[in-house]
Amino acid sequence: MADQTAGLRRTQLGDIAPIQNLPLRMQIAERLRTAIISGRLQPGAVLVETALAEQMNVSRAPIREAIQILENDGLVETIAYKGKRVKPLSAREVEETYGLREIFEVSAAQRILDRNVSVAPLWECCEAMEKAVHDDNYEALVAADEAFHRTLIQLSDHELLLSLWNNLYMRIHQIMALRNRGERNLAEIAGNHPPIVKALESGDREIATQLIARHTRALAEFDPASIAEFPE
């Protein structure tokens, strides 16, 4: 009886995430990282320790440590005599990032088709995007959009591909957020995804590849400098 009770308790608590006691610098770094990759802190934005410390109600020491973490991530850079700023995106970096994204996602789609993997999880992402459009919730749309592309990679069941994607993820998310923030056409952004899932579901390799390539090449539809540069 005691074993059954313990098992029941474990079942009831199984979906509750453990409490994470992260160091303050890690918590601050995560908040700043989220602000950067979501586009709220734009490329070129200066990071002033005193202002951030006051805003977050902490001392300057953990702020300085958090900024160093982000610099190691490649999201922040040091400018001589000026301090730290969010690293600007060059047009070349934007183009190379999207080029890699196309290679990764086309490869993932081909593996999904070769293995006849169910794409039901991608429909869930599409539904989340539709809800975000209905609610006019831009942040939710960005999150669902990113979840769609990450899920596509995960469904390919390729560990090295996923590892490479994770390394590229922060830049992809940042560029997507900045690009989508400029467009602000939530319905159009969401509408690009269901045709991809339908093609995968029907096993149409040619159409799926074309749609994914076209979707990831959306960079050509706007001027990269509009998000790649930030005034000094």
What whole-number distance in Å separates Cα of residue 52 and Cα of residue 108?
Answer: 40
pTM of the model: 0.74
Of 70, 86, 102, which residue constitutes the final position of a domain?
Answer: 86
211 with 97, same domain? Answer: yes
Summarised one tens digit per residue, pLDDT across range 33-52 is 989 988 889 888 999 999 99
Residue 179 near residue 76 (C-beta atoms within 8 A): no
Query: Which pLDDT band, with edges at 50, 70 and 90, does 20 fall under?
Result: low
Count the domains in the chain: 2
pLDDT band, very low/low/confident/very high, at 31 (cuts 50, 70, 90): very high
Question: How far is 104 from 99, CA to CA, in rounded Å?
Answer: 9
What digits encode the pLDDT tens for the residues 49-67?
999 999 999 999 999 999 9
| Judgement on whether residues 141 and 203 belong to the same structural domain of the protein | yes
Query: Domain limits at 71?
Result: 20-86
- 202 and 113 together in one domain: yes
DSSP E strands: which ranges in 132-173? Answer: none
Last residue of a domain, one of 86, 103, 120: 86
Residues 56 and 152 reside in one and the same domain: no
Q: Mind listing the pLDDT tens digit for each residue in 59-115?
A: 999 999 999 999 998 899 999 888 999 998 888 888 888 889 899 999 999 999 999
Domain membership flag for residue 56: yes
For residues 107 and 219, membership in a common domain is answered with: yes
Strands (E), the chain: 46-47, 76-79, 83-86
Q: Is residue 2 part of a domain?
A: no
Phi, psi angles (nearest 5°) of residue 22: -80, 145
- Residue 129 located in a structural domain: yes
